Chain A
Amino acid sequence: MSNRIEQVLKKQQEQQKAPSESEIENVIQLVGFMVGEEEFAVPILGIQEIIKPIEYTRTPKTPPYVLGVFNLRGSVLPLIDLRMKFGLSRSKENEDTRYMVIKHNDEVAGFVIDRLTQATRIKESAIDPAPETLNDDQNFIYGVGKQKDKLISILNVEALLKRDF
């Protein structure tokens, strides 16, 4: 009896192990979103949460892309407009606008994005490093993910959260 249980358990374990191992090895889950006309993505593990726009307070003496600070359940977080950060005009808030709260180590900040697209899984082998020409002073792009019909720029969470003023 106990022998059989063991066998069943063993089998189950093997089944669980087999597929997941290969997946963990080379698949990254990404959350895609639009900023301006371009689609970007960040690894899902870097995202703390995504919220609808709420009120924020302007902070003086900061670059224009730092819109201000907002209150997320008792924590005061900076709010950064990704459009302006990427050199586009300031976002107009609409129904699709979201604040994406991104976390890396102890650093947390909210980023204004125009629209969420979709969550995707992408094989690590399908990610190319950012082209040299893009790779200038500010290293926001971690890599370019190739999908069937399009390319998607994967952002470097750490670089996004780095203060550069």
Chain B
Amino acid sequence: MDEFQEILEDFLVEAFEMIEQLDNDLIELENSPDDLDLLNRIFRVAHTIKGSSSFLNFDVLTHLTHHMEDVLNKARRGELSITPEIMDVVLESTDKMKALLDHIKETGSDEGAIDVGPTVKRLEAIFSGEKASEESRPQAAEPEPAPEPEAEEKELSEMSEEEVEAEIERLLAQRQEEDRRRREAKKAQQEKEAVLMPAKEEKSPASKPQKKVESKPAPKERKTTVEQTIRVDVKRLDDLMNLIGELVLGKNRLLKIYDDVEERYEGEQFLEELNQVVSSVSLVTTDLQIAVMKTRMLPIGKVFNKFPRMVRDLSRELHKEIELIISGEETELDKSIVEEIGDPLVHIIRNSCDHGIELPEERVAKGKPAKGTVQLKAYNEGNHIIIEIVDDGKGLDADMLKMKAVEKGLISEKEADQMSDKEAYMLIFKPGFSTAAQVTNVSGRGVGMDVVRSNIEKLNGIIEIDSEVGKGTTLKLKIPLTLAIIQSLLVSVQEEYYAIPLASVLETVRITPDEIQSVEGRSVLRLRDEVLSLVHLADLFDVERVFSMGEHAYVVIIGIAETKIGLIVDSLIGQEEVVIKSLGEYLKGIEGIAGATIRGDGRVTLIVDVGALMDMAKSVKSSMQNLEDNLQKGEKSSPEDYNILVVDDSKTDRSIMKRALEPLGVTITEATNGVEALNLMKDGSKSFDAALIDIEMPRMDGYTLAAEIRKFNKFKMVPLIAVTSRTSRSDRMRGVEVGMTEYITKPYTPEYLMNVVARNINLNVLEHMS
């Protein structure tokens, strides 16, 4: 990379970090204008940015920060007291500074984008308004832990060449000192470059400062950076996360194989060893996953930082007195979520300030303190982070909300009557809903809260509102810690499996079909004192019906915010940690599907999009009744309608079996090995009423075939009859384990075979023999 570019990037990173702190410091300063430490810290930020930007030739930025520095310096010396008016100007110039830095980040230059003229004039006015300025004195009287402000107080243009040179050296030394701490690893290389550089670039430092760097102790001004840290490109972390994802899949697969092996070789010596290895691999994988997740974690303080400033501006704008109390800013969550959570929080806090907190007079009249408080809390709860926004304002009035919603045609009167208070609160998230009597600059356009909800849902989060009229409102956001790996509930519908994000699953219940009631053509379930609308997952996803609902079905109750529905599935498989994989560009955005994951057995399972599912559920008609008709068709009238599959690799054996079954008059299909047989069954062009299976076969043996067949729900009831010369008890046991219905040992009499088959397919032998 170009050396200049590298310095520029370091400068930007550093500058943005400092500014983030700056905002908070400034707000704090307003509360305690005499805090010298604070003032010094603020001054130093302006000063450092000024110094660096002049070095990098950003004249506009230098011009602005220079004037900021003047004002702050004056305040620092006690010649100027910080009033809210002065604060406004200082904050304004901070904003301009941010804008300039953003512009530099994008274009690499600070020219032409932002007009700092008016701001500078105001700064000048403040500066000269008090006293004619003595040219800013270099050394402040206060104890200065940092060495920076010493040398450089003169305008760059006034400096002699040597001075410029010295200034550059000083700045560079300082920068390199920080770099050194930050990037120990890169140090050697960097030095080399630094030595090579002066030949090429005039502005660059001589190799002299290098020596200085070595001898000078690290400045103590920013204790936080002394922590051993290393900057890593986010892309690398993403790659790492993907790899971990693969590993988690591998681990799941290993666990699955272990289960199979355990079943098969119960009590064997090596199982214990295998068990140890599998558990340690699984433990390490989990730890690794957590460790990598942690590297991507950022404290939520990064987002919270901007709110004190925002609330301050809002309170001045709205003429309210509002105090923002932040707690739990050290709570960490995934970087991608931190980036997404900012906007929704801005909307919510604006909303609390604008609609929640009353004007001071109102508050006093109600017997509350004139100053309203908004609390912003973050804390962990299991795999989630909870963010609470609590205000002590006027609270939400459920009846008023309902009325408004009916007025605006968002809900019907009937719906309004049935609504609980909590459901009514959720109305504020409907698009086009606004309770503010008039639209202010701050809120009330009826877009904000709608955006909040969709953003939170995008993060698989849940919103809860609690409120009491006159007391205040509490908004609770529940957000998963990471997006890449989630806990899910695996369910099966006919032959298909789906994963439902566990965060959206409220509960599961087992029901019998007659518990499903019908109201206005829709299936509903009475659950405790609630009536829950039901929808069959098979109807939502047009799953092919191959067997009818058994004695029991399961209802997975899923919910987002205050709405919930029951999803009927055929069975629950269990809870599993899954890695979300995208379906790629080609299949992106299929309705109701959020992504896919690879299961332990290597198959792909789709992850449902709960939000979309709930929307789809509204327009789905139940097809449960149709199924019964289809089943009627399968009625058998003559023996030829029965289809028997004979699987054996020996032609002689197949002929013997065929001959034995001849008297029954059933149709016989032959297969020479397990694979062929399985394909014939899966194929579906013929439905088989029973299968005779040899055990010893090439490609796929009889045990495996039986196990494979039993994996399909629709073949759960098909009689599988093993016909083999293996007679030992353990062979028989295994036959039963994999799901064989009967076990016939060779040699057998033709009558015996015939009777066994006839019994299994419920064919009356005598009747058809005659």
Binds B, one of A9-17, A22-30, A104-112: A104-112
B537 to chain A, nearest CB (A): 10
Q: How far, in angstroms, from A62 to B593 measured CA to CA in the complex?
A: 11
Q: A74-B246, A93-B679 are in contact. Are A108 and B584 (CB under 8 A)?
A: yes
Whole-angstrom distance between the Cβ of B495 and the nearest chain A Cβ: 9
List residues of A (32-89) whose CB comes within 8 Å of B's CBs. Answer: 55-62, 66, 68-71, 74-78
Contact partners of A55 in chain B: CB under 8 A: 602-603
> In the docked arrangement, what's the CA distance between A56 and B593, Å?
16
B541 at interface by CB-CB < 8 Å: yes
- B598 near A71 with CB under 8 A, answer yes
Residues of B within 8 Å of A77, CB to CB, are: 584
Q: Given the complex, which residues of B lie within 8 Å of A75, measured CB to CB?
A: 581
Query: Which single member of B497, B543, B596 contacts A60 (CB below 8 Å)?
Result: B543
A150 CB to nearest B CB, Å: 32
- Is A163's beta carbon under 8 Å from chain B? yes
Contact bitstring B131-146, A, C-beta under 8 A = 1, else 0: 0000000000000000
Cβ-defined contact, A60 with B581, below 8 A: no
Tell me the complex Cα distance, A54–B683, Å.
Answer: 14
Asked if A161 CB lies within 8 Å of chain B CBs, one says yes
In the complex, what distance in Å separates the CA atom of A76 from the CA atom of B596? 7
Please measure, in the bound complex, the distance between the C-alpha atom of A33 and the C-alpha atom of B70, giving whole angstroms.
78
B602 — which chain A residues lie within 8 A by C-beta?
Answer: 55, 71
Q: Which residues does chain A contribute within 8 Å of B583, judged by CB atoms?
A: 59, 69, 76, 78
Q: Which B residue's beta carbon lies closest to that of A109?
A: B586
Give the dominant DSSP class at B's interface. mixed
For A58, what are the chain B residues with a Cβ–Cβ distance below 8 Å?
A: 496
B604 touches A70 (CB 8 A): yes
Q: Given A69-B596, A71-B598, A74-B246, does the pair A57, B606 have CB atoms closer than 8 Å?
A: yes
Q: Decide: A60 and B584 in contact? CB cutoff 8 A.
A: no
- Looking at A56, A61, A62, the one whose CB has the most chain B CB atoms below 10 A away is A61
Point out the residue from A59, A74, A107, A109 that lies within 8 Å of B593, measured CB to CB.
Answer: A59
Contacts of B592 in A (CB 8 A): 60-61
Whether B590 lies near A74 (C-beta < 8 A) is no
How big is chain A's contact interface, by range?
20 to 34
**Chain B residue at minimum C-beta to C-beta distance from A68:** B604
Contact between chains at B604 and A161 (CB < 8 Å): no
Contact across chains for A74 and B249 when beta carbons are under 8 A apart: yes
Answer yes or no: B2 CB below 8 A from chain A CBs: no
A107 in contact with B591 (CB, 8 Å): no
B6 within 8 A of A: no
Identify which of residues 470-526 in chain B touch chain A, using a CB-to-CB cut-off of 8 Å. 496-497
CA distance A108 to B603 in the complex (A): 18
In the bound complex, residues from chain B placing their C-beta under 8 Å from that of A76 are 581-584, 596, 598, 604
Q: How far is the CA of A71 from the CA of B543 in the complex (A)?
A: 21
How many residues from B make CB contacts under 8 Å with A?
29
B587 at interface, CB cutoff 8 A: yes
Q: Are A56 and B604 in contact (CB under 8 A)?
A: yes
Residues of chain B within 8 A (CB-CB) of A92 are 683
- Contact partner, A106, options B496, B543, B585, B604, Cβ 8 Å: B585
Q: Which of A59, A107, A108 contacts B590 (CB 8 A)?
A: A59
Is A62 in contact with B587, judged by CB distance below 8 angstroms? yes
Q: Is the CB of B604 within 8 A of A78?
A: no
> Nearest chain A CB to B112's CB is how many angstroms away?
37
A160 to B603 CA separation, bound complex (whole angstroms): 25
Report B615-652 CB contacts with A as 1/0, cut-off 8 Å.
00000000000000000000000000000000000000
Which of A55, A74, A75, A108 has the largest count of B CB atoms less than 10 A from its CB? Answer: A74
**In the complex, number of A-B residue pairs with CB atoms less than 8 Å apart:** 74
**Distance, CA A61 to CA B582, complexed state (A):** 17
Interface residue B713 (Cβ < 8 Å from any Cβ of A): no
Bound-state CA distance A3–B249 (Å) is 60
How far does the alpha carbon of A74 sit from the alpha carbon of B242 in the complex, in Å?
Answer: 11
Q: Are A74 and B598 in contact (CB under 8 A)?
A: yes
- Judge whether B587 and A78 touch: CB under 8 Å: yes
B542 at the interface (CB under 8 A from A): yes
Chain A min CB distance to B499 (Å):
11
B605, CB-defined interface residue at 8 Å: yes
B587 touches A57 (CB 8 A): no
Enumerate A146-165 residues with CB–CB distance to B below 8 Å.
Answer: 161, 163
Which of B496, B581, B585, B605 lies at the interface centre, i.e. has the most chain A CB atoms within 10 A of its CB?
B585
Closest to A55 in B: B603
Complex Cα–Cα for A108 and B606 (A): 18
Partner of A61, one of B541, B596, B603: B541
Cβ contact within 8 Å between A163 and B591:
no
Question: Which residues B571-586 have CB closer than 8 A to chain A?
Answer: 581-586
A53 CB, min distance to chain B CBs, angstroms: 10
| Cβ-closest chain B residue relative to A94 | B679
- For A56, A59, A77, A106, which residue has the most chain B Cβ atoms within 10 angstroms? A59
Instruction: Digitize B535-551: 1 where CB-to-A-CB distance is under 8 Å, 0 elsewhere.
Output: 00000111100000000
B178 to chain A, nearest CB (A): 39
Would you call A69 and B587 a contact (CB within 8 A)? yes
Residue of A nearest to B596 (CB): A76
Nearest-neighbor residue (CB-CB) of B537 within chain A: A60
Instruction: Please indicate the chain A residues that have their CB under 8 angstroms from the CB of B585 in the complex.
Output: 106-107, 163
Q: Which residues of A contact B603 (CB under 8 A)?
A: 55, 57, 71
- A107 to B497 CA separation, bound complex (whole angstroms): 26
Which residue of chain A lies nearest to B495 when distances are taken between CB atoms in the complex? A58
Considering the chains assembled together, what is the distance between the CA atoms of A74 and B598 in angstroms?
A: 7
- Would B593 and A60 count as touching, CB distance under 8 A? yes
Chain A residues near B249: list those with CB within 8 A.
74
Check B586 against A163 for contact (C-beta < 8 Å).
yes
User: Is A57 a contact of B679 with CB atoms below 8 Å?
Assistant: no
Least Cβ–Cβ distance between B672 and chain A, in angstroms: 13
Cβ B604 vs Cβ A69 within 8 A: yes
Residue in chain B with minimal CB distance to A69: B604
The distance in angstroms between the C-alpha atoms of A2 and B636, with both chains bound, is: 91
Min C-beta distance of A68 to chain B, whole Å: 8
Residues on the A chain within 8 Å of B593, using CB: 59-61
Give Cα distance in the complex from A78 to B606, angstroms.
Answer: 12
In the complex, the answer to whether A107 meets B586 with C-beta atoms within 8 Å is yes
- The proximity string for B residues 240-260 relative to A, scoring 1 for CB distances below 8 Å and 0 otherwise, is 000000100100000000000
Closest to B601 in A: A55
State in angstroms the CA–CA spacing of A145 and B588 once bound together: 34
> Closest residue of chain A to B605, judged by CB?
A57
A70 to B605, CA, bound (A): 9
Given contacts A77-B584, A93-B679, A163-B586, contact A60 B604 (CB under 8 A): no
Q: How far is the CA of A109 from the CA of B585 in the complex (A)?
A: 10
> Contact at B598–A59, with CB atoms within 8 Å?
no
A66 close to B587 (CB less than 8 A): yes
Which one of B540, B587, B683 contacts A59 once the chains associate, using CB atoms below 8 Å? B587
User: Known contacts A60-B541, A60-B606; can you find 17 more A-B pairs with CB under 8 A?
Assistant: A57-B496, A57-B603, A57-B605, A58-B496, A60-B590, A61-B541, A61-B592, A61-B593, A66-B587, A69-B596, A76-B582, A78-B583, A92-B683, A106-B585, A107-B585, A108-B584, A163-B588
Q: Which 4 A-B pairs have the closest CB atoms?
A: A60-B541, A57-B604, A76-B596, A76-B581
Q: What are 10 pairs between A and B in contact, CB < 8 Å?
A: A58-B496, A60-B541, A61-B593, A62-B587, A66-B587, A69-B583, A71-B598, A78-B583, A92-B683, A161-B586
